[in-house]
Structure 1
Amino acid sequence: MTSEIPSQNKPSAKSKSRSTNYSVQEDILLVSAWLNIGLDPVKGNDQKSTAYWARIAEYYHKNKTFETNRDASSLQHRWSAIQAAVNKFCGYYEQILNRPQSGETEQDKLQRAKKMYREREKVAFLQEHNWNILKYEQKWISFSAKKAAIATTRKRKSVNPEASLQNASSPIVLDEGNGATSEPSFMERPIGQKQAKDLLKKEKVKENVASQLEQFRAFKRETERRKEERFQLSLSQEEKLYILKEKKEQAKQQREDDKIMLIDITTLPEMQAAYFRDRQAEIMARRARPSESM
């Protein structure tokens, strides 16, 4: 059973008809879908919000590992609440980082940011699990920077109401809808169709080159493997020759030892008898050593 995250939106007359609160699992999957699904540049700049969120819903249900029947509209509504809360918390957290206190740990800073959020927003910050995923993601960083830039532009243009906010480099506004927040979500405008198709061609060329490079590396690895096998085989043959040579030396030594051991030293002059007596003692000592070490 997964824990549920209470909605941070202010209650309204429609709240009774809303579906159950999102669980942590559902939130994490939704954030993953948002991070993995972007505006499709190949389809052109006329891509609508409904098409974009349909793709997110498709990703969401394709990758779910639990029971859920959230539709695109519900996911869009939930994302509005997540991005609004997380974006505000990022601002408070940034303020805390810019005003560090002596001896303060990272956990202390996080707690101070959560306290500031509660004091300013009059509600606890319940999106920490989503913030932990989003805070280092480049798409979220760009998304937040774009929202901040748009907010700054709005303030400047408010002095001159006749100035148009729309221009060739302006972002696409994806209506998050459902009344979850008064601010829409801003996404960067996709590149042109021709440029996107050119990029696809370049990617295919890169993939082809990468494939050929991998084939070359595989060939090189196989060549090295065979070379190593031949080396091991030659080494094995050398070891066999060495063992054979050693056995021959041992057999030769055995024959010499046997001749010396068979000499009757009682019939020899004193000096010769002393010499062969010492040799026989050496032989007996040498033969006794292996049996002692066993």
Structure 2
Amino acid sequence: MAFSVEVGGSWSTHEDIALCQSWVNVSHDPIMGNEMKFHHMWSKIHGEFCQRSGSIRTEMTLSSRWKLLNKELGKWRNALTKAKANIRSGQNLTDEIIQAQMWFGAMGQGKKSFMHFQCWEVVKDCSRFKIIPTGPKVVMNETLLHDSPLDSPMETESPFVPCPPRPIGRKAAKAKRGGTSTNECIQLLEQIAKNNSLRMERDLKRDEMDVAREEAFVIQQRKAQEKDIDDREMKIMAMDTSHMSPETKAYWKLRRRDVMRRKLFHDDGPSNTDWLNDENH
């Protein structure tokens, strides 16, 4: 949109992404990022944010919004860390995201589902939000999944070392988990999709209302200006010049002539107005 509501306006996804991009570019500047004072940093963030989004929000509004986003993004990083440490063999990225959403909701202190995925893509490589694995080594059937070649039993001198058992496949792993977990995951995905749809619908309705209010305001202003002009012209045309001096009468005569010319041009278009120049008129 071409304008933004400063006080009480909801933040759009576009504005949140622009704020995250501006924060990353300014705070991670390799030359100035570590030496800027807090106020100067937010002044630069505000300037870049306005260029990216076209918004008119203030520095204080941006700082307050970033506190909320920072909290949600940090909470999501912690949830992803727990999900990655708890991931099982045979699970994919979708399973990891679902499990992270469950951790996110279980942490409390805010929303039950994480929605700022596009903002996360912007900040995930920053040192503040980078995921550092802290869990134990992932094993399956008592065998490390990422053994070093130096530790492999094939490198030992004994020719009778048995081969490790064959890992179970993805389908067998899912069957082992049972159907209840799958149903819960499906329900969670459906709820996430529903929440996204409701959010988009609310944003669209808000934008439509903003456009309608702006159009109504412009129409009201135009009508007020037209009424003000009409009132002034009526006073000019009704001015009693009988008691005035010749110079004052001449002035008001010119003013009436201008009013008549504007009226003729507005109502009927250009026309021959030579009769207005008649000195006896």
Normalised-by-shorter TM-score class: 0.3 to 0.5
TM-score after normalising by structure 2: 0.39
**Structure with a larger share of its residues in helix:** 1
TM-score after normalising by structure 1: 0.38
* Structure exhibiting the larger radius of gyration computed from Cα positions: 1
Q: Which has the higher contact order (CA 8 A, sep 6+)?
A: 1
